[in-house]
């Protein structure tokens, strides 16, 4: 990883080790197979050791992911410079907001070529505030320094271009980061399901993923007498202002609205036991990974008629699209899904 090791080194930088493992493990393996040494840089969590077990060198960096303290962000910039200077890095991929901004600036300062990957606009465009305009300004400065900026959908690229955040000459369009279809392979739909109809929402448990809409839709469906179970799978983010709280989860479970399944390193067993995968997001998604995983396993899907979701779901063909922030519309899609025959639902996965 330094001057002693002549193996070319590529760095992947994100705001959590979890995201590098969950979204980019396939890329890491492909880079290693192609002869690259991979340096993973992110705030350390339980996935840091797992990444190291796959042959990555892991380097911790302190990032205030949800804060806006100039002092903390400046410290992160200097920490990026220190880490990048320490290793003989040949190329860097930056993911998520603060690595895209401060990592790109640090790479430019040290003349290391880098690509910023915008996997979605997230809360940057769902909550307009002074933080939004500051982030846009910082993006514009950083993206002038990046060699290229990759977007997962044309809508996000168009917004950044129209706002003058990035020049069109630097934009590249990557139609999703993809999933390993051998890992998320077709299974015998319905083989492991039993009892009541199971709807599964697997996501970060934040408001923008439509968690509260999912719960309200569950209440509406249950009021009509349908025998259905509504499952939540994902980790809580107590430091995120939009995070679902432990108290809410306990309350929803107590009233029988949902069943909380906790967290997992492998979502496949949960997908196999569900009758339908649901993502009522109004987050500015790139292309939702969980929908691609469900589609790869040929599951029936329900999601919002939202940027990114439309790239995975063709309404009425492999799933249903509901209106954003509309539990009534979501409940109607759920009812329509349950009214389909088993054979019709199984065909939904064969897009």
Structure tokens at 31: 């880079």
DSSP string, 273-315: T-SEEEE---SEESS-HHHHHHHHTT--EEEES-TTGGGT--B
**How buried is 300 (Cβ within 10 angstroms: 0-12 exposed, 13-18 middle, 19+ buried)?**
buried
Helix/strand number for the chain, H first, E second: 13, 15
CA gap 335, 330 in Å, rounded: 9
Residue 334, pLDDT > 80, answer yes
Best CA proximity match to 249, nearest among 264, 230, 273: 230
**What is the pTM for the complete model shown?**
0.79
- The per-residue pLDDT for 3 is 44
Q: pLDDT band at residue 27, thresholds of 50, 70 and 90?
A: very high
Claim to verify: residue 151 and residue 292 sit in the same structural domain = no
Is position 190 within any domain?
no
Structure tokens at 252: 């929803």
Range with lowest mean pLDDT among 55-69, 124-138, 258-272, 315-329: 124-138
Claim to verify: residue 232 and residue 160 sit in the same structural domain = no
Claim to verify: residue 232 and residue 98 sit in the same structural domain = no
Q: What is the pLDDT of residues 275-326, one digit of tens each?
A: 999 999 998 777 899 999 999 999 999 999 988 899 899 999 999 999 999 9
CA gap 82, 79 in Å, rounded: 5
Claim to verify: residue 209 and residue 146 sit in the same structural domain = no
Is position 4 within any domain?
no
CA gap 210, 257 in Å, rounded: 15
Claim to verify: residue 340 and residue 201 sit in the same structural domain = yes
Is position 83 within any domain?
yes
Is position 338 within any domain?
yes
Give how far Cα 245 sits from Cα of 104, 162, 192, 207, 230, Å. 33, 37, 31, 10, 18
CA gap 256, 213 in Å, rounded: 16
Claim to verify: residue 25 and residue 81 sit in the same structural domain = yes
Is position 180 within any domain?
no
Claim to verify: residue 156 and residue 202 sit in the same structural domain = no
Best CA proximity match to 312, nearest among 324, 300, 330: 300
Whether the Cβ atoms of residue 295 and residue 318 lie closer than 8 Å to each other: yes
| CATH code for the domain of 150 | 3.40.50.2000
Claim to verify: residue 150 and residue 287 sit in the same structural domain = no
Q: What is the pLDDT of residues 199-256, one digit of tens each?
A: 999 999 999 999 999 999 999 999 999 999 999 999 999 888 899 999 999 999 999 9
- The per-residue pLDDT for 190 is 61
Claim to verify: residue 294 and residue 252 sit in the same structural domain = yes
Strands 228-233 and 259-260: parallel
CB atoms within 10 A of CB 40: 23
Residue 121, pLDDT > 90, answer no
Claim to verify: residue 160 and residue 211 sit in the same structural domain = no
Positive or negative, the CA dihedral 324, 328, 330, 336 is negative
Structure tokens at 341: 């025959």
Is position 182 within any domain?
no
| Chosen domain end from 114, 141, 173 | 173
Claim to verify: residue 134 and residue 250 sit in the same structural domain = no
Residue 4, pLDDT > 50, answer no
Q: pLDDT band at residue 346, thresholds of 50, 70 and 90?
A: confident
What DSSP designation does 240 have?
Answer: S
Is position 207 within any domain?
yes
DSSP string, 95-118: ESHHIIIIIHHHHHHTT--EEEEE
Claim to verify: residue 166 and residue 21 sit in the same structural domain = yes
Question: What range does the domain containing 18 cover?
Answer: 9-173
Domain count within the chain? 2
Query: Which helix (H) or strand (E) segment is 129 a member of?
Result: none
CA gap 142, 181 in Å, rounded: 34
Q: What are phi and psi of 110, to 5 degrees?
A: -100, 10
- The per-residue pLDDT for 343 is 86
Is position 247 within any domain?
yes
Residue 263, pLDDT > 90, answer yes
């Amino acid at each position: 990883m330094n001057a002693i090791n002549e193996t070319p080194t590529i760095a992947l930088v994100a705001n959590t080790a979890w995201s590098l493992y969950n979204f980019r493990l396939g890329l890491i393996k492909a880079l290693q197979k192609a002869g690259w040494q991979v340096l993973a840089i992110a705030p350390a969590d339980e996935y840091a050791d797992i990444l190291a077990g796959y042959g990555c060198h892991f380097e911790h960096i302190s990032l205030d992911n949800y804060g806006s303290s100039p002092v903390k962000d400046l410290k992160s910039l200097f920490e990026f410079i220190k880490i990048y200077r320490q290793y003989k890095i040949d190329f860097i991929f930056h993911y998520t907001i603060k690595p895209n901004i401060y990592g790109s600036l640090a790479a430019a300062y040290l003349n290391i070529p880098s690509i910023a990957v915008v996997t979605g606009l997230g809360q940057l465009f769902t909550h307009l505030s002074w933080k939004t305009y500051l982030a846009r300004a910082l993006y514009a400065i950083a993206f002038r320094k990046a060699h290229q900026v990759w977007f997962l959908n044309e809508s996000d690229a168009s917004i950044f271009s129209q706002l003058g955040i990035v020049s069109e000459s630097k934009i590249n369009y990557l139609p999703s980061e993809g999933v390993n279809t051998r890992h998320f392979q077709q299974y015998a739909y319905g083989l492991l399901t039993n009892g009541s109809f199971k709807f599964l929402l697997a996501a970060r448990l934040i408001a923008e993923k439509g968690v509260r809409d999912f719960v309200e839709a569950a209440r509406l469906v249950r009021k009509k007498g349908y025998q259905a179970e509504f499952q939540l799978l994902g980790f809580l983010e107590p430091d995120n202002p939009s995070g679902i709280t432990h108290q809410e989860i306990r309350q929803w479970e107590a009233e029988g609205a949902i069943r909380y399944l906790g967290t997992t390193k492998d979502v496949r067993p949960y997908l196999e036991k569900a009758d339908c995968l649901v993502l009522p997001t109004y987050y500015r998604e790139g292309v939702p990974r969980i929908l691609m995983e469900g589609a790869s396993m040929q599951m029936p899907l329900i999601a919002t008629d939202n940027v990114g979701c439309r790239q995975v779901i063709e309404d009425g063909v492999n799933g249903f699209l509901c209106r954003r922030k509309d539990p009534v519309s979501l409940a109607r899609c759920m009812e329509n899904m349950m009214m389909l025959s088993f054979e019709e639902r199984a065909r939904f996965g064969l897009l």
